[in-house]
Amino acid sequence: MSKVVSHSFFTDFDIDLFKAGKHFRLYNKLGSHLTEVEGVKGTYFAVWAPSAKSVSVIGDFNYWNAGEHELNVRWDSSGIWEGFIPGVDKGTKYKYKIHSHNNDIWTEKADPFARFCEQPPNTASLVWDAPYTWKDQDWMDTREEKNGLDRPYSVYEVHLGSWKKKHGWESLTYLEMAEELVNYVDEMGFTHVEFMPVMEYPYDPSWGYQITGYFAPTSRFGKPEDFKVLVDKFHQKGIGVILDWVPSHFPEDAHGLGYFDGSHLYEHPDRRRGYHPDWKSLIFNYGRNEVRAFLISNAIFWLDQYHVDGLRVDAVASMLYLDYSREDGEWEPNMYGNNENLEALSFLREMNQEVYASFKGIQTIAEESTAFTGVTKPVHYGGLGFGMKWMMGWMHDTLEFFKKEPIYRSYDLNNITFSLTYAFTENFMLPLSHDEVVYGKNSLLYRMPGDEWQRFANLRLMFGYMFTHPGGNLLFMGGEFGQSSEWNFLQSLDWHLTQYDFHSGIQEAIKDLNKMYKSNPALYEKQFNPDGFQWIEYNDRENTVITFIRKGNDPQDDLIVACNFTPVPRENYRVGVPKTSTLKLVFNSDETKYSGSGMGKKTMKPAKTPWNGHEQSVVMTLPPLSVVVYR
């Protein structure tokens, strides 16, 4: 056999779909694939490089010599170069050496479709397959029910490299996390885990948000099949897996997607639309059919090959607006004269339509920080088609409110109630994410005012308020036990703190909040529906107390929630209630097992005393800095 054998995985139909931007399983065609041709084992390579004069595969097997194994260009103007190289087997390191028609430039690139990469700082791709026998059939069969928008969404956000270290510096492997992390998330009662980007990235301080290997789980923690084990183990515990996905930008690293074939292949050629000034990175050309197919294929790849249950799409706001983080003169309006990126909007709609049509029970979640309307509305109603959107306004207002000394909170009570004026305009998830505990913002615990007791009481109160507020919720790792220092991606979380009562008390409170959330339909059945919420009192500035009702499909499940935002106990505090039934305590953030003071009543019988617009009322004891929940 010759060095490169003419061979193709592509049909004419594949090429037509690719050119039209409608081929959404490109990972089955492009990249490197172990195969057999005429009885000879080897690897088929295919890469898109339309501006190339020649493309060679260089690697271990030919001592990285260009020209030894030159691929064949297809005759159909697709810009795809391909061929079969005998004897190249699993684990072979390789790159593409591309000679461009554009100014006679040479580039040396990693494979955009590589399934596995060398561990950074090395940058070669590896020929790889990841055979795996999944054991999560029970989860997959029932996922549509468990992962629906009327089900609990309590998400634990994780940075895999720093959740826990061994020997003080070494991150756990995927297989070690498949035991330790899975068991911990299960013990804490979270319904989902969300991983900050697992796709291969070159630079640790980017936390994974500058991706070079979109189809490869990072090699930092093990092999691709090991990551499948991690996902599988979560599913076997009934826990959903969400991945952060970054279709908004990519780094300029020499081996990455930028200037791939000597031309602006993946990035927009106009620097005003193709370069992100904040992140010093390149922006995808959403109007190019083949780039859209690349990105949508990537979204589908993780849902298909790795059984992932959701994608949290990063930096959506930066995609929506042409003037995002740009001054006047640094951007150009669209054809209608406004600042919306029409091509990005079209791409997001098509991506959401395709993934929801292809997979039952998955969700997409937008990290979108503006007032753009219709993010979670269906595409056929003019929306973007996401399942959920991060409620950044709630996050900002809540943290601003809680950092104030309680004596001043009465003046800013609207900060804590304002979110309910727009809470049902989208399907919102309440995020207390990694972004809120870095860059001098301080840990959640040390944003709280007061002495040590008050800091922890405030933190328990804030978490209780989050869990009872309509919407799903997300908490970054470390918050669940009151991590005292800011997150540092180079270090392990401060697990030693859990030996202390205040920190273990926060941990116990989160366990019980998760238990309460999952066992009370009033907190999730109508979490995105205004019928699921009713104010009792939102303007008691004198006491700095709010009270409200959460409702499910069955009125018997209704919950009464009261939040006392001051360190002053409110005894004999009257609250109007809609029924005459006895109220039973469901949760009290002031329990002694959480290191609280232990105040509060277990049961209350309403009296025929009209209050707050209701015909009957109860007299509560509201502990200091607390949330109490009654059914």
Identified catalytic residue from 118, 232, 314, 558: 314
What is the pairing mode between strands 388-390 and 428-432? Answer: parallel
Alpha-carbon distance 590 to 571, whole Å? 14
CA 508-399-164 angle, 5° bins: 45
Alpha-carbon distance 530 to 424, whole Å? 6
Alpha-carbon distance 327 to 323, whole Å? 7
314 has catalytic annotation? yes
Count of CA atoms in the C-beta half-sphere (13 A) of 62: 21
Alpha-carbon distance 48 to 27, whole Å? 12
Q: What is the DSSP letter of 11?
A: -
Identified catalytic residue from 367, 368, 480, 558: 367
Scanning the structure block, which residue is given the tokens 């139909």? Answer: 13
Q: Which helix (H) or strand (E) holds 498?
A: none
Q: What is the DSSP letter of 497?
A: G
DSSP 339-385: SB-HHHHHHHHHHHHHHHHHSTT-EEEE---S--TTTTS-GGGTS--
What is the pairing mode between strands 192-195 and 154-158? Answer: parallel
405 has catalytic annotation? no
Q: Report CA-CA distances (Å) from 49 to 107, 262, 504.
A: 11, 9, 55
Is the peptide bond prior to 131 cis by the omega test (within 30 degrees of 0)? no
**CA nearest to 225, candidates 144, 133, 122, 146:** 133
Residues with catalytic roles: 314, 367
